[in-house]
Structure 1
């Protein structure tokens, strides 16, 4: 039985012919209207190929026809693989200078999530557990919101936008199905409606290319803005996977954690194969070991019971089979994650090469927001963050003391703990009751005070997790055995008047 021959690149056509045809198509689309373009750029092979094609096409236009802006957006989640983050940042800087020198209307933009949406503010600040496939809270906040917000601003300003992406049908079966679905509603060749953003179209010039064809183009056509494509290939060769994170504008895009271009904190996959391979293949990247170790700790599900509260974020207890559904990270766990993160940052800054010696695993803005959440939202009035920072980094925390805003000082906290005699639930309930009353004390109208006090008491109602589990089971039994008229009465009582 003969082995089937692999298909020739570009179906046997010459690369120069394919590139010439595509750049002409790009020029026609670009000059057809005044709708601005937004190119999604991750720094990987596919987005680089697309941007390079657009760049070549614009170079072939007379200066008076380069009239509308081409925005190049790159979303930095602030927890990107540090090697790739440095590559992309440098690429954007080089790109901006080259575009200005060549008089091209290409404008690079580095987008970041709002501080309230960042990974560490949600995990360490609010206590969100490490992301899982069934609780993928990170993608929307870190990637979708920043890119979609930028595109919406362009649409508001110009009425429409064309989003240019390096998506390809051969990336995955899911990607192929999504693209085939949108193809049926196309208004022009390769222009598909965007199902998530009104008044925007998606243009995918290399949608039919395979991985080998992308690399063939990149190796034979030099990078138009002076960032060597051979260096990009070298970066890919350093890891086991060669996929990339495209611009994410919806939640159908798969996680990129097992690729070179994912977040180093990603727990949506079993292992971070790319960072592991980078460390194994290159001694100069040994400095990333503390990051990999922390990521693996976040992914350790065996410790979730001891690190997470038995109550949900709102204080409720939810049953699942014979146990409770674990809630957010406990105060102790969040403090531990912060300490380990700051220790990893301190160690990396000491052992890393000069080029990444000033790395920020967590920004000062995030630390201030985490401190605010702990003290004022969670009522953890001990205000432990400055001390954790100082012990982990050896530096004084650059933030103002909160003594005047705290309901209890250090001596009062110690006394309260002594009175509660090791009962952590009652200690945190009493601490929250005092903090809530303090917050409402200065208000002209103290509306909402009793609701907040009741909420705190409900959270501290239980003796321990076993008591909460027993209570939830009794409540469920009563609900299951209650006569129908009780349910009807509840519905009538709850119905709007």
Structure 2
């Protein structure tokens, strides 16, 4: 192993000093990324200070729903790394990346109502992982013209990984540097691509961590869970989900179960404080979530598939339930967890403010229920000022409105939304678009119920089929018979449209 490391560190030094292209190292805190960073660190230490001329950016993407134990480990490691790099005069710059508030998991699930991710609707990876890392790499490329990504990917991880790496090997522009098909002007260097998992652990146990973090503690963290995998730097959607490993998101529903968190709780009584997180994750992962979701899509339209309405976002009731569960779990963890998680935030205040804004201003839920739910779940007032008083209805006004609508949920929703639209436009000097917004609101909620909406959706589907047929055979026949035939078909479809509305 010593000879292998000597050869590899020499290769790293040759590649590093060959040009002025900066390096970007993906670091998750797991064994593979730790091994790669440790090799680069050891190689650079052997260079004279004057040759350490180009930056090495270490990036770690925190999705804000990472396993709390691993997130704390990575954050401590980045802090230690920053201090050690400065002390040892190394051009290594650690960076913790997070998604924009509008892209976070809870803003999309609780705020917008996106259902829990599924393999066919994997909306989370792009927002939480790909966008933050790609944005950073693009900034490096913009400033320097090019970048080299140093990743801990290994062919032994999986057959798919091996095939992908071998495919890119054929297009290498320099020895050991492969092109990156997703990020222009960037190359990929995988120093340990031929290593096995045993090789990685042998290296980590034999070589002391150069920035002062304990590799033995890392091994202990792995032993506390059931598998031996980690999430690499994600720069494209081809990377498989890693929710069943300790380095995945604790909210991940792309896998059948979170094996690592389950194992951590079972293997260590001191980690039972994570149980509310596991229970919340399991409740998100239901086979049939139709009762939790609106029968309309996010746009308000009804889509028919296999003679059934395709479910849309979570209903207001469901979103409020998820928020309450999340805040209760956070409060329980802060009150019963160990000292190092007493300040743990499962959802940030910035996310809560954005969720509140979406509910009131985009979904027209002008009763503004988030502050009430927050206080009921946490026992303390919501740390945010009042919203626009012209947009929010008091609880008494909401009760009166429900009574006037005779407890008809769709009638209440439409009336409430019409009030919200009118109030939003009231303060505008120019009310262009008001009538369009009012029409959209009425169209969204004019159905009697879900059954009525489904029937109308089926009728509209039939209308489209009629029009589709007319655009082929009927149009030819109409041309043969004159304008009267086309007019008759047009009258038929227009009458059907009128009936549907």
Contact residue 41 and residue 210 of structure 2 kept, 8 A: yes
1:337 aligns with 2:294: no
Range that drifts further, 137-146 or 460-469: 460-469
Given that 2:62 and 2:98 are in contact with CA atoms closer than 8 Å, whether structure 1 keeps it comes out as yes
Q: How far is the alpha carbon of 1:461 from its aligned partner? A: 1.9
Count matched residues.
476
Distance across 1 between alignment mates of 2:85 and 2:206? 21
Q: Which residue of 2 aligns with 1:453?
A: 438
- The answer on 1:58 being equivalent to 2:76 is no
1:483/1:306 CA distance change after superposition, 3 Å = closer
Residue in structure 1 matched with residue 153 of structure 2 by the alignment: 167
Q: Distance in 2 between matches of 1:451 and 1:176?
A: 54
**Aligned-partner Cα distance in 1 for 2:384–2:390:** 14
Shift of 1:443: 2.0
In the other structure, the counterpart of 2:57 is 71
Q: 2:185 aligns with which of 193, 196, 199?
A: 199
**Is the aligned partner of 1:306 residue 2:263?**
no
**Alpha-carbon distance, 1:476 to partner:** 1.6
Q: Which runs of 5+ in 2 are unaligned?
A: 476-485, 488-501
Q: Aligned match of 2:380 in 380, 392, 395?
A: 395
Candidates 120, 125, 140, aligned match of 2:126: 140
Residue 141 of structure 2 is aligned to residue 155 of structure 1: yes
Q: How far is 1:411 from its partner?
A: 2.7
Moved more, 466-475 or 274-283: 466-475
1:18-33 alignment, distance < 5 Å: 18-33=4-19
2:29 to 33, 43, 50: 43
> Is residue 2:212 matched to residue 1:212?
no
User: Which among 370, 393, 402 is matched to residue 417 of structure 1?
Assistant: 402
Q: d(CA) in 2 for partners of 1:322 and 1:272?
A: 35
SS at match of 1:399: coil
1:405 Cα deviation (Å)? Answer: 3.1
Q: Distance in 1 between matches of 2:324 and 2:96?
A: 29
TM-score, normalisation: structure 2? 0.93
* 1:478 aligned partner: 463
CA distance in 2 between partners of 1:483 and 1:229 (Å): 65
Query: Aligned to 2:93, what secondary structure does the other structure show?
Result: strand
Whole-Å Cα distance in 1 between the matches of residues 7 and 15 of structure 2? Answer: 13
- Describe the shift of the 1:417–1:162 C-alpha distance in structure 2 as closer, same or farther (beyond 3 A): same
Q: Decide whether aligned partners of structure 1 residues 362 and 407 sit closer, same or farther in structure 2, where only a CA change above 3 A counts.
A: closer
What is aligned with 2:338? 353
Q: Say if 1:35 and 1:162, in contact at 8 Å, map to a contact too.
A: yes
Judge conservation of contact 1:403–1:409 (CA < 8 Å) in 2.
Answer: no
- 2:23–2:57 Cα contact (<8 Å) kept: yes
SS at structure 1 position matched to 2:205: helix
2:25 match: secondary structure: strand
In 2, Cα distance between the equivalents of 1:483 and 1:95? 63
2:13 paired with 1:16: no
> Hey, what does 2:363 align to over in structure 1?
378
Alignment root-mean-square deviation, CA = 1.5
Question: Helix, strand or coil: the match of 1:439?
Answer: helix
Shift of 1:458: 1.1
1:110 and 2:74 matched = no
Summarize the alignment of residues 430-449 of structure 1 with structure 2, pairs less than 5 Å apart.
Answer: 430-449=415-434
Matched, 1:128 2:114: yes
